[in-house]
Structure 1
Amino acid sequence: MTELCHEQSRGLVRQQTLTAGTVSGDATTRARDTPFRDLDHAREALIARLTAGLSPAALRAALADWLIHLAAAPGKQLELASLWAAHARSLCAYLGQIGLGQHALPDALGVPAPAVPR
């Protein structure tokens, strides 16, 4: 009986929505054609291109999840800090060689990153 009431109420809501849309159809069409709506549409299209169609909220949630896991793993933090220091040293050495006119690829940049066991 509850489901029937919900169905009936949803039907009434749908009917009211359709009626409201039909009555104010001209106003809705006019609102859709304004430059303000075009600006919103352009912004949404840009965000879709930048995020490859993924929801920005989903990307933020994934980043937050990754940061929470990283914050709870001090060993991984030390590993990443050590890797950053090694790459910074290699970059400084490479920039120093460029300054002296020698263009050599540093060792750390020529070695691929180790595979992560999963």
Structure 2
Amino acid sequence: MLIGELARRTGTTRRALRYYEEHALLIPDRDPNGYRRYRGDAELRVHQIRGLLAAGFSTEVIARLLPCAVGRSPEIQLCPSVAAEMTQVLARVEAQLADLDRQRGSIRRLLAPGGVRTGSE
């Protein structure tokens, strides 16, 4: 299928599909006239890429995860080569959540009655 049809079927843009190609996430064949021709599994692959992007993974990490992706969601069957990397990503996310929780607590204390003082006090 051509790029326009794949974009329509997946609800994405042609620009996004070209971006995935630039990052070697989705590799189309080329017709003699230079048109991109996507194979039958391209629709599934686009859904997998979008799901992994939505989960916060970089295109570099996604390139390593795609061989482990199964299904549209995608479900990741943890390949040994990426299990350690995903554990590190999870640790970073948990650290960010802890930082945000501390920040939220600080803001709540400032907003509590008597928590904010002006220079004239």
TM, length-normalised to structure 2: 0.30
Between Structure 1 and Structure 2, which shows a larger proportion of strand residues?
2
TM-score norm. by structure 1 comes to 0.31
Structure number with higher relative contact order (C-alpha < 8 Å, ≥ 6 residues apart) = 2
Q: Report which of the two structures shows the higher radius of gyration computed on alpha carbons.
A: 1
Q: Higher helix proportion, which one?
A: 1
